[in-house]
Amino acid sequence: MSAAKPTIAVVDYGMGNLRSVTKALEHVANGRAHITLTAQPEVVRAADKVVFPGQGAMKDCMAGLLESGLKDAVLEAAANKPFFGVCVGAQLLLDHSEEGDTPALGLYAGQVKRFPDGLSDAAGARLKVPHMGWNEVWQTARHPLFAGVADGSRFYFVHSYYMAPADAALSLGYAEYPFAFSAVIGRDNVFATQFHPEKSAAAGLKLLENFIAWDGQR
């Protein structure tokens, strides 16, 4: 990996707010990395680091990944280089989603579950699904990408389904709506967020900035 200017591939499989993710990475890189939005498996394989976004229905995202021919390249990247999953790109790393009864990539054991209807907060106010807006994220493990990000920082969420990894140690941070759910998962070279860092102001940009410099080690 080039220490001076790593190449970072943003995976384009037709699903996700790709322009905003790419622009946010370019902003925080400030010339310190080459950011490439790509639909080509060979470009993903050649990159030093990979960002895997996703937005929309899980079944459509999984179909797009398969039809694009990018599935194997994404799994290879998640196995051996710094890897940042975003929103559905994080959910896809688990085994299965209740959304459309969809098998996912199975990198980690776990389910993606729908928030139940009839939720209410501590004051008894009804909580809507999807969970949409700003919410605090509490860090449950030390991680280089959390450097300079205060515990309890607020990030921007838009989702009706949440990650439930089988191994609690896979969860690096949680939010509450109203119960605790995994907002960040990861292990070794993988870091993945349910929220959108590119839409999360200073705290989200700091995560992306830290990723630019991250060597994939914990």
176 in active site: no
Integer angstrom CA distances of residue 186 from 68, 119, 127:
25, 28, 28
Q: Which of 99, 159, 196, 209 is catalytic?
A: 196
Element (H, E) at 168: none
Q: Which of 99, 159, 198, 209 is catalytic?
A: 198
Of residues 85, 114, 96, 105, the one with CA closest to residue 191: 85
- CA gap 49, 83 in Å, rounded: 6
Torsion of CA 37, 24, 157, 9, to 10 degrees: 30
Q: Which of 87, 99, 143, 159 is catalytic?
A: 87
198 in active site: yes
| Cβ neighbours around 6 below 10 Å, total | 21
27 in active site: no
Residues noted as catalytic: 87, 196, 198
